[in-house]
Amino acid sequence: MASHRRPKQPSRTRVTVLTATAAAAVALTSQAAQADPKPTKGEVKAKVDKLYHEAEAATEQYNGAKEKQEKLEKEVSALQDKVARGQQEINTLRSGLGSLAAAQYRSGGIDPSVQLFLASDPDSFLDQASALDQLTAKQTESLAKIQEKQRVLAQERKEAQDKLGNLADVRKTLGEKKKQQQTKLAEAREVLNTLTQAERDKMRADDLRASRAAGNRVDLGNGAPASGLGNGAPANGAPANGAPASGLGKEAPASGLGAAALQAAHTRLGMPYSPSATGPGSFDCSGLTQWAYAQAGAQITRTTYTQINQGTRIARSQLKPGDLVFFNNTTHVGLYAGNNTVLHAPYSGTYVRYESMNTIGGFQAAVRI
């Protein structure tokens, strides 16, 4: 007779172990499938460059807000001084009005006909009466002056109050842009730290080599490469040759002004990029262009967003050395140096250098000061 014995059921402990093992295997397989491959050095550089450009955009917005803040602070200070002077003038007029009123009260308590009858010298009394009429006229004039001064003072106080409100808004924007800038820079550093030290060193060496090659394409007319960077980046951030450019390349300068600005910027080769810095020891992009033109004797505004509206807009095909060139939706500016090369302060962690226009970013516009 065949046996129909029921198969032995696995113990609860054994089922639990098998289930846990299977779940772990599935999880590991899923994680392996979902794990992103380590980004290449090129991908890391592209992401870092994007973050630096975003940080630079925040820097330029911060610079614009800071410039507006400084202007508002001056205007508020001038208005407050004006209000204080106006109040002093009103106080003086009120004091004079009080003296006139007191004199009128002292002599105005008796009917004029009685005063004439009692006067020992009628002629003298008539002279006094005439003087009182003049006092009344002066009093009326003083009252009119006080009313006008009070009206003007009220307007000035309101204007000062409005500007103080604007100043508070600008200061809030400053804080927001500063935080945004710092966040983007921190993100960039975090991405960079996914590379090994050797990879980061090679990235910097590649940037230096590219800068030197770009500078060598700019003929300064003295037989020396325009880059002035020698065989490596300056150890102390100073330009290696320490001398201004003596010529401006194969393309004729746009003007003596543009030539002088480019020569001035050339002396800053190797100086570090620093957000919101305007030189002479460190710069951001628009700080460098503003400083360079100031050395040439021309005052231009502080930010990329305002510099692009100065001078004369020109096409890329019309570029001459010394012209301002703008990239990445007006977040970056440099000085054209000829041969498709720009002299600029790129972004945090770099230094003033020459670079091909093809590697900076999207060309937007050019301006000749």
Catalytic annotation, residues:
285, 332, 344
| Omega before 280 within 30 of 0, i.e. cis | yes
Rounded Cα–Cα distance for residues 361 and 364 (Å): 9
Rounded Cα–Cα distance for residues 212 and 218 (Å): 10
Beta 312-314 vs 353-356: how paired, if at all?
unpaired
Cα-Cα-Cα-Cα dihedral sign, residues 145, 148, 151, 157: negative
- Return the DSSP state at 6: P
Rounded Cα–Cα distance for residues 44 and 46 (Å): 5
At 332 the three-state DSSP class reads: strand
**b/e string for 97-129 if b means 16 or more Cβ within 10 A?**
beebeeeeeeeeeeeeeebeeeeeeeeebeeee
